[in-house]
């Protein structure tokens, strides 16, 4: 089996140049993409905020850390897959320098169009040396060593005000540092009565927690879900910052729900990107399985880019739906379980 993603193809090339993958055996793999070649090598433990990826590694018997502050067994080295959000890459770098012994070899790989070459300036600013190991597949691989840093990764958390709330924000969370226009449209067109009487309401893909907090502010009994550990922590911080209550769970769509109880409403601004590729999978599951999670008469309320093909999915799942708002960029849909 060969690697399917460019960054893993570069790592595969590096391993081949060393004549065996064993040079990476036991290394820590940090925030990699989903690539069957990588898990097939059984290279070592994973550290990722993505629950879907964590489950893939655990399914083949590999260790996977899903906490933002795990107790990591000391590896011989680590590979950090640099994300397109540079501030998120900086968080991973700071977290590795805090969590691993000084001097641990660290390789950093990323796509050129994703800005991997900026890593040179980031490392220089932190006082960490660096050398280029390889480049291919429009990707570059750098090598450095972990060292003690004065900066705390927690410093990259931010707070900002929006929708009458104090919101916690992190580079790894959708809409970092601002209220997304689609979410704003959704909040402006939520039915007035929604959540006013303590009804159970579910926020799927909670992000920074603005929807969950808005619903809790109305008096709803809120459960919030997200596949990202960063989003789960952001939502918890947002609720706490506004003295609001809610249950927040890391979950792949509905998988993490602890019971089969139904909700009076499901509210969501569902993702449709996985890095730069369009991925309708989570939104498709959100819509298709929603009737099973709703009380009779309960509503699915979601906002989406106007070009996305959700009307057909809503009609297939619910029979009919309505459009509560349409500003030509985004649409707010409502579908009711009959």
Tell whether the model's pLDDT for residue 254 goes beyond 90. Answer: yes
Decide whether 6-151 matches 157-336 in CATH topology: yes
- Quickly name the fold that domain 6-151 has: Rossmann fold (3.40.50)
- What does the mean pLDDT of the chain come to? 92
**Mean pLDDT value across residues 263-280:** 74
Residue 258: predicted pLDDT: 83
Q: Which of 112-116, 237-241, 259-263, 271-275 has the lowest mean pLDDT?
A: 271-275
Going by pLDDT thresholds of 50, 70 and 90, the confidence category of residue 275 is: very low
For 224-236, what is the mean pLDDT? 97
* Span of 45-54, 258-267, 298-307 with lowest mean pLDDT: 258-267
Reported pTM: 0.93
HEC sequence for the chain: CCCCCHHHHHHHHHHHHCCCHHHHCCCEEECCCCCHHHHHCCCCCEECCEHHHHHHHHHCCCCEECCCCCCCCCCCCEEEECCCCHHHHHHHHHHHHHHCCCCCEEEEEEEHHHCHHHHHHHHHHHCCCCEEEEEECCEEEEEEECCCCCCCHHHHCEEEEECCEEEEECCCCCCCCCCCHHHHHHHHCCCCCCCCCCCEEEEECCCCCHHHHHHHHHCCEEEEEECEHHHHHHHHHHHHHCCCCCEEEECCCCCCCCCCCCEEEEEECCCCEECCEECCHHHHHHHHHHHHHEEEEEEEEEEEECCCCHHHHHHHHHCCCEEEEECCCEEEEEEECC
Q: Look up the CATH superfamily of 157-336.
A: Vaccinia Virus protein VP39 (3.40.50.150)
pLDDT of the residue at 144: 96
pLDDT (0 to 100) of residue 259? 78
What integer is the mean pLDDT of 125-142?
Answer: 93
More confident residue, 137 or 236: 236
**Of 150-154, 212-216, 278-282, which has the strongest mean pLDDT?**
212-216
Which residue has better confidence, 325 or 22? 325
pLDDT band at 338 (very low <50, low <70, confident <90, very high): very high
Q: What pLDDT is recorded for position 40? A: 87
18 has pLDDT over 80: no
pLDDT (mean) for 138-143: 96
Per-residue pLDDT tens over the stretch 88-129? 999 999 999 999 999 999 999 999 998 899 999 999 999 999
Task: Give the start-to-end residue ranges of the domains of the chain.
Answer: 6-151, 157-336
Q: State yes or no: pLDDT of 303 exceeds 80.
A: yes
């Amino acid at each position: 089996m060969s690697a399917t993603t460019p960054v893993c193809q570069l790592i595969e090339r590096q391993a081949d140049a060393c004549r065996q993958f064993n040079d990476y055996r036991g290394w820590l793999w940090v925030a990699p993409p989903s690539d069957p070649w990588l898990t097939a090598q059984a290279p070592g433990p994973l550290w990722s905020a993505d629950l879907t990826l964590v489950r893939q590694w655990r399914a083949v018997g590999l260790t996977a850390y899903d906490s933002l502050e795990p107790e990591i067994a000391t590896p011989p080295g680590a590979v950090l897959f640099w994300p397109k959000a540079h501030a998120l890459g900086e968080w991973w770098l700071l977290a590795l320098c805090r969590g691993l012994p000084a001097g641990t070899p660290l390789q950093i790989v990323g796509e050129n169009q994703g800005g991997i070459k900026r890593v040179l300036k980031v490392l220089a600013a932190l006082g960490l040396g660096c050398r280029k190991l390889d480049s291919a597949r429009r990707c570059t691989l750098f090598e450095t060593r972990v060292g003690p840093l004065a900066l705390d990764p927690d410093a990259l958390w931010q707070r900002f005000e929006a929708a009458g709330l104090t919101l916690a924000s992190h580079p790894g969370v959708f809409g970092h540092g601002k209220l997304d226009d689609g979410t704003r449209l959704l909040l402006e067109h939520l039915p007035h009565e929604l959540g006013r009487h303590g009804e159970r309401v579910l926020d799927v893909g909670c992000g920074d927690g603005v929807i969950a907090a808005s619903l809790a502010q109305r008096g709803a009994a809120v459960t919030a879900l997200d596949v990202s550990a960063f989003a789960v922590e952001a939502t918890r911080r947002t609720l706490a910052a506004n003295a609001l209550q809610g249950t927040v769970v890391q979950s792949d769509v509905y998988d993490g729900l602890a019971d089969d109880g139904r909700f009076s409403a499901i509210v969501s601004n569902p993702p449709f990107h996985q890095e730069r590729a369009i991925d309708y999978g989570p939104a498709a599951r959100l819509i298709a399985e929603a009737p099973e999670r709703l009380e009779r008469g309960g509503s699915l309320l979601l906002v989406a880019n106007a070009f996305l093909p959700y009307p057909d999915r809503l009609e297939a799942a619910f029979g009919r739906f309505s459009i509560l708002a349409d500003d030509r960029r985004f649409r707010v849909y409502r579908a009711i379980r009959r």
